[in-house]
Structure 1
Amino acid sequence: MTLDLSDEDKKYILNEYLRNISDISNKRYQERVWILGEGPEVDDFDESVCHFFDDGDPILKKYRDYNITESQYLLLKQFRDKFKAFSKEHDFPEEFIDTPEWARIMEMANEVLVAFDYKKSAIRRQILDSFLENLSGISDKEYLQKAWIEGKEADFDESVCLFFDLGDPILENHKEFGITESQYLLLKQFRDEFKTFSKEHDLPEEFIDTPEWARIMEMAKEVLVAFDYQN
């Protein structure tokens, strides 16, 4: 039985695969997690190897389905073959982590990440996550009561500034952030509505119980659902 994967599923699988390659490229991570066993990550060399091949081999077999270019595929396959040979001969990172052979593996892993623009993508994901986290706060009346009115966290002005400082560049470059057309349209609609509201209102204690603000929170939740965001 063949499992049909959505584009979002494929994007997620590829990202997890590249994240594992990022760990393979990162000596500090390996020393901290693989050798010293320090968290919060729970991982070791064997797990990284298993994930690499379990996730990667199906991707390589159908690489075009994952929007992987021919040059990316060839680079990835070259790395896969090299890493397979290495992992068959080595088991203990404390024994190989300082060797020239492992240095070459890390170098090749980094070349793959560059080819996939992974580090820039990771930064974009962090920006989008921060934006959605702020939006989640805007959608949560209980949080707003504590934060904006009781003054326990960010105030309304800070949330507004953060929304537009992060949101406008995201909207302008939405394709680079992996945002679909339907997500973009929903987000833009909310942005326009929120911009109008924030220009006309300053004091959350005066508007938090109004129907207009209830509508803003409802629209924010609709955006979060569209982005499958869970805080």
Structure 2
Amino acid sequence: MTTPETAPVSLVTGANKGIGLETVRRLVDAGHRVYLGARDPGRGRAAAETVAARFVQLDVTSDESVHGAAEIVEREEGRLDVLVNNAGISNPVREVHDYDGDDATSVLLTNVVGYVRVIHAFLPLLEQATVPRIVNVSSGLGSFGLVRDPSRIESRAGTPLYSAAKAGINMLTARYAQLLPGIRINAADPGMTATDLNGGEGHSLRDGTDAIIAFALGGPDTPTGAFRDRDGDLPW
């Protein structure tokens, strides 16, 4: 029987709103002790209070911030069972001729480098867990298969930098799953979900977090190195 002391410990980055906050809510409902990571302390604490989670200040672009968060979890828990890498940005979105190197640096620093920074900071704590899991929140926009399928909305999205970042996350997921066989590492695509990032268009937050939660809470048959949305496997 799970008790408060033996409950799984989870961390979700970029979790003060949207998909991140809904993921926290569902993990709390599943009996996890959840750390809600967010850059802004005011917004993060307020969000954590609404879902009975624990706030931890965490800016994925800062080594100091990420390692500080890891030290807190280590001191309070001694392990981490589930890491959900969710923090990311969509901006800037411009007319294609107007992109520059600084735009690419901004997107990749948060959406790709940030995932690597968090994984490595928390890796020692994940390796203390019995069945550790990493869920990297990705997107069908990073799928080479879907971008070539004219029947899919992903083929018509004009987001080259965001798409490149998500493709990078997919490859990181596949390679880390090979190199860290003791951890189940997967990429989840929320699909078109109604959040601030896309003007509130798409399906519900619950639908958007289904794939994340399936990887985070799945049983012994949960794969590693997979890329899925709520309906199943996706082409890389």
Q: TM-score, normalised by structure 1?
A: 0.29
Q: Tell me which protein shows more helix as a share of its residues.
A: 1
Q: TM-score, normalised by structure 2?
A: 0.29
- Greater C-alpha Rg: 1
Q: Tell me which protein shows more strand as a share of its residues.
A: 2
